[in-house]
């Protein structure tokens, strides 16, 4: 799809707008939870819900692979990330993907979700940090309980998002 000029840019824009909307929805729900429950209890509930959402997303990835006769290995998770029909390959700007035996590291210089949170100022970035620091590990755990993900740098704080995935034995 990247070769088709206008079509690619239009699809990229649609995906980005969808992700901006998702970030905005998360922002307003989290903001309401924090206002209602306070910082400590609100953060605890937000993290619990991020984990549930991410686990479900990871389970969905696992199910799609199983339907194709594939297992939920690290190798197949990398293939999902590299797939040309993966929305991340269209709407995110990937800097690098380094694959090693039991781990891989992916870096992004642009993420529409981070951009969506940033549109809401410093409070949006704060809630975005809470979301982004936890969602990828939750997705990984839902995909395969032995797979973890640590976010080593933040797009809105550091200028690049670095995600380090590792398969535990």
The CATH number of the domain holding residue 52 is 3.30.1380.20
26-69, pLDDT tens digit by residue? 999 999 999 999 999 999 999 999 999 999 999 999 999 999 99
Residue 1 has pLDDT above 50, yes or no: no
84-135, pLDDT tens digit by residue? 778 888 899 999 999 999 999 999 999 999 999 999 999 999 999 999 999 9
> Quick check: is 29 in a domain?
yes
> Quick check: is 152 in a domain?
yes
Sign of CA dihedral 40, 45, 48, 49: negative
Token couple for 114: 């981070």
Mean pLDDT of 63-78: 93
Cα 146 to chain centroid, rounded: 18
Residue 163 has pLDDT above 80, yes or no: yes
Confidence grade of residue 5 (pLDDT, cut at 50, 70, 90): low
Residue 71 has pLDDT above 80, yes or no: yes
> Quick check: is 109 in a domain?
yes
Residue 142 has pLDDT above 70, yes or no: yes
> Quick check: is 125 in a domain?
yes
> Quick check: is 1 in a domain?
no
Total structural domains within the chain = 1
CA-closest candidate to residue 61, choices 151, 149, 131: 149
Beta 103-110 vs 93-99: how paired, if at all? antiparallel
Q: Are 141 and 58 in contact (CB under 8 A)?
A: yes
What is the extent of the structural domain holding 64?
A: 6-167
Q: Are 67 and 134 in contact (CB under 8 A)?
A: no
- What pLDDT is recorded for position 98? 95
> Quick check: is 159 in a domain?
yes
The pTM for the full model equals 0.90
DSSP per residue, the chain: -TTSTHHHHHHHHHHHHHHHHHHHHHHHHHHHHHHHH-HHHHHHHHHHHHHHHHHHHHHHHHHHHHHTT----HHHHHHHHH-TT-HHHHHSEEEEEEE-SSEEEEEEEE-HHHHHHHTTHHHHHHHHHHHHHHHHHHHHHHH-TTEEEEEEE-HHHHSSEEEEEEE--
Phi, psi at 151, each rounded to 5°: -85, 115
């Amino acid at each position: 799809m990247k070769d088709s000029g206008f079509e690619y840019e239009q699809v990229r824009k649609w995906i980005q707008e969808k992700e901006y909307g998702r970030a905005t929805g998360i922002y307003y729900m989290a903001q309401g939870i924090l206002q209602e429950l306070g910082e400590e209890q609100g953060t605890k509930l937000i993290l619990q819900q991020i984990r549930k959402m991410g686990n479900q997303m990871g389970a969905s990835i696992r199910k799609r692979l199983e339907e194709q006769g594939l297992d939920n290995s690290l190798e197949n998770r990398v293939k999902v990330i590299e797939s040309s029909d993966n929305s991340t390959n269209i709407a995110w700007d990937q800097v690098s993907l380094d694959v090693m035996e039991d781990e891989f590291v992916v870096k992004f210089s642009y993420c529409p979700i981070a951009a969506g949170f940033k549109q809401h100022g410093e409070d949006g970035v704060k809630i975005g940090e809470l979301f982004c620091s936890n969602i990828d590990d939750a997705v990984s755990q839902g995909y395969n309980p032995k797979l973890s993900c640590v976010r080593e740098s933040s797009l809105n704080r550091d200028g690049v998002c670095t995600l380090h995935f590792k398969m535990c034995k």
